[in-house]
Each structure stands twice: as C-alpha cells, then as structure tokens.
Structure 1
Amino acid sequence: MLAAIGHALMMSFAMTWEILWALILGFGLSAIIQAVVSKEEMSRLLPDDSARTVTVACGLGAASSSCSYAAVALARSMFRRGANFTAAMAFQFASTNLVVELGILLALLMGWQFTLAEFTGGPLMIAIMVLLFKAFLTPRIVEAARQQADKGIQGHMEGHAAMDMSIHEGTIWQRMFSSKGRTAISHFFVMDWVMIWIDLGGGLLIAGALAAWVPQHFWQAFFLQGHPILSKLWGPLVGPIVAIVSFVCSIGNVPLAAVLWNGGISFGGVIAFIFADLIVLPILDIYRKYYGLKIGAFLLAIFYAAMSAAALVVEFVFQILHLIPQERKAQIVEGTIRWNYTTILNIVFLALASVLVIRFFRTGGPAMMRMMSGPGHHGEHHA
C-alpha cells in the first residue's frame, strides 16, 4: 500500500517538475497583462454580442489568463459592470482555454498537435456557444441572471475579481517598468498562484494516481478503443463527463488529459475533456449561486453542447489533415530528474519567480491577501 502511494506521489512530482517553468512563464505573462489593462476597460469593450465584441472578449480573455474559479468570478464581475452576458461568457471561456501556459503545457506533455487543436477548437467552441445563445438566450433569462448576479452572493475568488491594481498612466512599457507596475505584476503573479495551487496540485495528484494505479486495459475498454468509428463519436461525448466528476480544472487537467490519451480516449475526447474545466461540479454550484439554478442548468446544457460539438469537428478535421498522432506516448514523466533543458529552464524561471515573490512580500502583499480572503470583501485595491 505504501509502495503504491509512493509510486503515485513520485509520478505527480515528476509531472510537476516537467511543467514548472512553463507555469511560471504563463503566470508571469498573465500578471503583466493584468497589470496594464484594467477590468473597467475590459467591461467597456464588451457592450453587445456582435462578432467584433466577441472577438475582443476572446482576446481579452486569452490575455487575462485565469484559473477556472477566477474566470467565472471575473465574468460575473464584468457582467455586473455592464458587459454583455454572451461576451462575458466568451471572455470566461477564452481566459481558461486560449491561454499561453495551456498551449505550452500541451506541447510539452502531449505534442504540438494538441496545442494546435486547442487553439483551433477553442474559438470554434466559443462560436458555437454564441450561436446557441442567439437561438435560446432570451432577454428574460439575461435579466434573471442579472438580478441574481447583483445579489453579490459569494462563490470563489471574488477578492481576485474585485482587485484592480492595473496602471493607467503612460505607455505599456512605462506601466510595466514603473515602480507601481512592478509591484502590481508581483501581486498578480502571487495571487494567481495562490488561487490555482489547489486545482493544479489536485490535478497532478489525481493524474499521478491514475497513471500509477489504473491499468491500461480499463481505459481502453471505457473509451471503446477497439471500435474506431464509435470511439471517435464517444470520446467528445464522454470527455466532458469525465472532467465533471474528476473535479480537475484549469491547467491541472493537462496531466490527466495525458493519462487519458495514453489510456485510449480519442483525440477529440482529449480536447473535449480539456474544454470542460468550466463545467466541473464545484463550478456548476457556483453558477447556481451566481445566476440561479435554472440558468445554471441552462449554462451546463449550452456549454456541454458547444464543447462536444467543437471537439467532434476537431476530431474529423484533424483526421482528414492527418494531424492526429499515431502513437499514444504522452510524456507524463521522464522517470528521473536529469540535468537537461527542463532543469535549466526550471532554475532560471524559479529565480525570476523568487524576485516577484520577494517584491510581493516587501510591498504589502500578505496584508492585501488577508483582506481579499476575509468575509464580505468589497471594493477594489489600487496600486
């Protein structure tokens, strides 16, 4: 028993070491964007559900880069400040599915084809969601959602959603390298890590346990690997369901996606699984709190349909273009930590992260974190 637990923990640690530098890079870029663009500016840019506005929402979401919980909280915050509901949902999807760190991790662990599929299927999924909203989202539903949202019921990450330390004066470069800018970047960087570590750590632990304990033949049977056509249809349908019950969200689902791919899930099933970080059980409960039970169920139905449909299209398009990897050898672990480019990059980026963390502690970061996590947090924090 202890040997099995040790094996799973070692697998989890090896996964963490493999992706560490990419996480630091992604969160660093995210912190810079959050420091130079305010949430009020974002909301003003999302007045309707036109193609132009939805495109802007996707760009802002991809730049803001959030964990699933923070993305949902940010979307509600923007909706309450006047952003269009559909545009806010597009922002929410882009901020977890079209972000730099996700693409890097997919390329590292699974291959560039998965990164291409993510950034091809993500906009397609958002487009399908927008079309479904145009067909089924009525003004009455939006008004009911707004009334519930305006109650301000707490879910997760409201403090992060309300925090605005962005710098408004000067050019982007001046904002980045000013004293206030460097402080804001350090605060956003640490806050993003604080809000993601449970999801990421949980994902790595679950992926390590599944990789170590679940035999390949179970996954092969579950994903209908012996039935080429059925498995391609089954994967995009069951991928989001696996995500819902696994509780793994945001970047934490990439290691588990690698385990599922090695186990036999279809290419489209992997993409659907990764898309589904915004319908895991804890987040479905947050939708209920934010927008009401009926609208939460409505969002689940729309999101699931968009995720599965987009992943199915990706499956068949990539098959036609011969872009689906023929071998199932996702690099979950290297076995041992070696002196290679991964180790060098980890050392360099850990040094950069330590600079940001030290500045966070020297500029009142812990006090602000306590304020954000306290009950009944309201208002904004300005640098």
Structure 2
Amino acid sequence: MDLVFEALKTSAGILWKAFWALMFGYIISAGIQVLITRSQMARLLGKRGPKRAILASFFGFVSSSCSFAALAASRSVLTKGAHPVNALSFLIASTNLVIELGIVLWVLLSWHFVVGNFLLGILMIVYAYLITKFWFPDQLAQSARDHAEQQQSHEGMDHDMSGEGRRSWWDKITSRSGWQAIADAFFMEWKMAYKEILFGFTVAGFISVFVPQSFWDSLFLHTGNNSPSFLVVLENAAIAPIIAFFTFIGSMGNVPLAAMLWSKNASFGGVMSFLGADLVAATVVYLQAKYYGWKYAAYLSGLLYVCMVAAGITVHGIFAFFGILPSERPNLAEIVRFQIDYTFWLNIVFAIIGAVLLYIHWQNHQNKGSGQHHHEHEQIR
C-alpha cells in the first residue's frame, strides 16, 4: 500500500510540475485553431512539393498537440483536398512541433530535449517526404481518401472547429464571438486530451515506483553510458516505440514517460524515438484504420516507425557531434518535489485563466441552448 501511495504521489507531482505548461500550451493552441481554419490550410496544400510540405508542417506546428485531435485534423485536411504526403507532414508536425510539448519538456527535463524534439519532428517530416518520393502507393492513398470522406460524412464532422468562417484573424481576436470560439476550442482540447494526459502521468508514476531498474537494464543495451555506441543507440531507438505501442498514450502523455525513461538511463536517442512514437501507439493505429482502412493504416504506421527510429538516431548523432548530449539524469522524485516556487505561482495564474475560458465556454453553451429552446418554443406557438 505504501508503494501505491508513493506512485500516486509521484504521478501527482509530475502533473503539478507540468500543469501551467499544459494550460499555457492549450490556450495558445486554441487561439491558433480559431485564427487559422483547416479549409484555409487545405486550399494551399493540394499538390506535392517541398514548399507545400513545409507549409503543411507550419500549419501542424500551430495546430493541436493531442494525438487524437491531430489525427482528426489531418483527416479533415486530407478530405478537403490536401495531398496525402502534405497531410502526413501536418500530422507529424501537429504532434511533435507544438509549443506546449516543448514547454513541458523544458519543465520536466531540460532544453536539450526541447531542441532534440524539435529536430526530431523536422527530421521525421524530411524522412517521410524522401521515402514517399520513392515508395508511395497512390491507388491505396486514393482509396484511403475515399474511405475517410465516407467516414467523415457519416460522422457529420465536415466542418472547422472554430466555426468562424472566413473572418479575418483580427476580427476574430477583437470580437466576443472570437473569444467564445477560442474558449470552445480550449474546452474541446482538454475534453479530447485529459484522459490520455491523466493516464500518462499516472502510468509514469506507477512505472517509476514498481518497475525495477534491472528491467530497464535488460531492455536497453548498456544504459547509463553517456557515450553509447551506434549499436546501442540503434537498439534503444528501435525498442522505445514498441514500449509506446503498448502504453496506449498520445503525445502529451508521452512526456512524463519520456522523463521516466531518461531517469532509468535510456539513451538520448531512445528517448527521442519514444517522443515521436505517440503516432504508433495502439489506439492511434486503430484510429488510423478506422479513418483510412487497415491497409493504409499499416503503411502509415510502418512508415512512421522507420522515420521515428531514423530521426531519433540522427538527433542523437547531431548532439554527440557537437558534444552537447545531456548527461544529468535527475531522479523523478527530485523533479516533482513540491515547493513554493515559480511553478506554484504560474499554476495559480494559468488555473485562473483556464477557469475564465471555461466559464466563457459554459456561458456560450447555455446561451446557445436557451436560444435553441426559445426558437423551438416559438415554432410550437
């Protein structure tokens, strides 16, 4: 029982440490989702090419960080006319190159992991673009698009989350309806992600307490070596996504687990590969199959696995070349120790901001409900 309490305490401590960063990131994400609509993205991404892949990556960068929301968004971009490779670039960027992910990595680990994760996302996009240039099943992709259109039509979800149409970003941000849309998007972000976030932080706490160091020493070759060989980095990078597959956790939930793996002496390249592996978690693969069919989902998952392993190894090599591989491995208990510091005050500030946005969302929801009820009453009369 003492171990269970210690695991829960560790989980709560990790969440407390990262709470303000999560709030800040989702506020930014919600605002950008309202200012830039998916239909605007798709109109610019209809053809394959390096410039359009870069543009798709930028749109992904300013989009949602929730893996499941990113999957839905990339499907929407694809069905609205984007080239499948551009939709893939959007998907990778929207789960690896987002602001909130970097903030939480900085809070829980160090700047090395922020820069490394940013490079990881870019390299995954580059590798995916190069691989699809030589091996891309066009007919299968078209079949996947048709499948996605039918699925989306069946769900009645062929619309932009913002609901703000073609209004300019300035009109949106200076209007009451614009802030209502931001509040709604903020609520939807948390609604879609809170389960995976809570699950990820809880799992990290329990694994850190219950799984012995001997298990990680047997799983990862020569862990703890600050200058591991290429074979060690390759094995670590190849194994890490398999762990992610069985955790069923998305991008934000992966961060505390990545911190846990680092504290257990996994190599830097292995941790990097793990951070990209939210795209091959079992639940994500299942949703890909639901959206596009099993054949295209298998193609995407295999492609993404190769890209994340290669990118993790490359990031490790770049850091090793410049002599900036991180060496400090703080214990999770040290990371999550509660104290009255900047984390305490930032958590309070962003909790208040979040509460205000949720209040706006609920007021807007109630007003819409009242308006609909009044309209129905008038019709009856």
C-alpha change, 1:217 and 1:161, in structure 2 (3 Å) is farther
C-alpha change, 1:123 and 1:182, in structure 2 (3 Å) is same
Structure 1 residue aligned with 2:144:
145
1:308 aligns with 2:309: yes
What residue identity is the alignment partner of 2:252? I
C-alpha change, 1:83 and 1:105, in structure 2 (3 Å) is same
C-alpha change, 1:330 and 1:36, in structure 2 (3 Å) is farther
Structure 1 residue aligned with 2:117:
118
Give the whole-Å Cα distance in 1 for the aligned partners of 2:261 and 2:239.
12
Structure 2 residue aligned with 1:177:
174
What residue identity is the alignment partner of 1:191? M
Q: Is 1:168–1:175's contact at 8 Å kept on the other side of the alignment?
A: no
Give the whole-Å Cα distance in 1 for the aligned partners of 2:294 and 2:209.
38
What residue identity is the alignment partner of 1:105? V
Q: Is 1:39–1:164's contact at 8 Å kept on the other side of the alignment?
A: no
Shift in Å, 1:151: 2.0
Name which of 206, 216, 219 aligns with 1:219: 216
What residue identity is the alignment partner of 1:102? L
Q: Where do 1:46-61 residues align within 5 Å?
A: 46-61=45-60
Q: Is 1:37–1:167's contact at 8 Å kept on the other side of the alignment?
A: no
C-alpha change, 1:154 and 1:301, in structure 2 (3 Å) is farther
Deviations 1:119-175 (A, max 9, x none): 1121111110111111111321222212222221699x98597533236334x3442
Deviations 1:4-57 (A, max 9, x none): 211111111101100000001000000110111111101111111211101111
Q: Is 2:14–2:336's contact at 8 Å kept on the other side of the alignment?
A: no
What residue identity is the alignment partner of 1:223? F
Structure 2 residue aligned with 1:168:
166
Deviations 1:94-117 (A, max 9, x none): 111000011111111111001001
Give the whole-Å Cα distance in 2 for the aligned partners of 1:160 and 1:350.
32
Runs of 4+ displaced beyond 3 Å: 157-162, 330-336, 365-368
- TM-score norm. by structure 1 comes to 0.90
Structure 1 residue aligned with 2:319:
318
Deviations 1:227-262 (A, max 9, x none): 732321211111111111111111111000011111
Q: Is 1:167–1:180's contact at 8 Å kept on the other side of the alignment?
A: no
C-alpha change, 1:342 and 1:289, in structure 2 (3 Å) is same
Shift in Å, 1:88: 0.6
Gaps of at least 5 residues in structure 2 are 370-381
Give the whole-Å Cα distance in 1 for the aligned partners of 2:16 and 2:157.
30
SS of equivalent to 1:126:
helix
Greater alpha carbon shift after TM alignment, 273-282 vs 140-149: 140-149
Structure 2 residue aligned with 1:231:
232
Q: Is 2:39–2:160's contact at 8 Å kept on the other side of the alignment?
A: no
What residue identity is the alignment partner of 1:168? R
Q: Where do 1:15-54 residues align within 5 Å?
A: 15-54=14-53
Structure 2 residue aligned with 1:377:
none
Shift in Å, 1:217: 2.5
Structure 2 residue aligned with 1:103:
102
Q: Where do 1:190-269 residues align within 5 Å?
A: 190-225=187-222, 228-229=228-229, 230-269=231-270
- Identical columns (%): 35
1:349 aligns with 2:350: yes
Q: Please report the RMSD computed on the Cα atoms of aligned residues, expressed in angstroms.
A: 2.1
Shift in Å, 1:327: 2.1
Shift in Å, 1:177: 2.5
Aligned residues: 365
What residue identity is the alignment partner of 1:68? S
Give the whole-Å Cα distance in 2 for the aligned partners of 1:53 and 1:174.
27
C-alpha change, 1:164 and 1:185, in structure 2 (3 Å) is closer
What residue identity is the alignment partner of 1:205? T
Name which of 175, 184, 189 aligns with 1:187: 184
Give the whole-Å Cα distance in 2 for the aligned partners of 1:324 and 1:158.
48
Q: Which has the larger radius of gyration?
A: 2
Gaps of at least 5 residues in structure 1 are 369-383
SS of equivalent to 2:329:
coil
Give the whole-Å Cα distance in 2 for the aligned partners of 1:82 and 1:72.
16
- TM-score norm. by structure 2 comes to 0.91
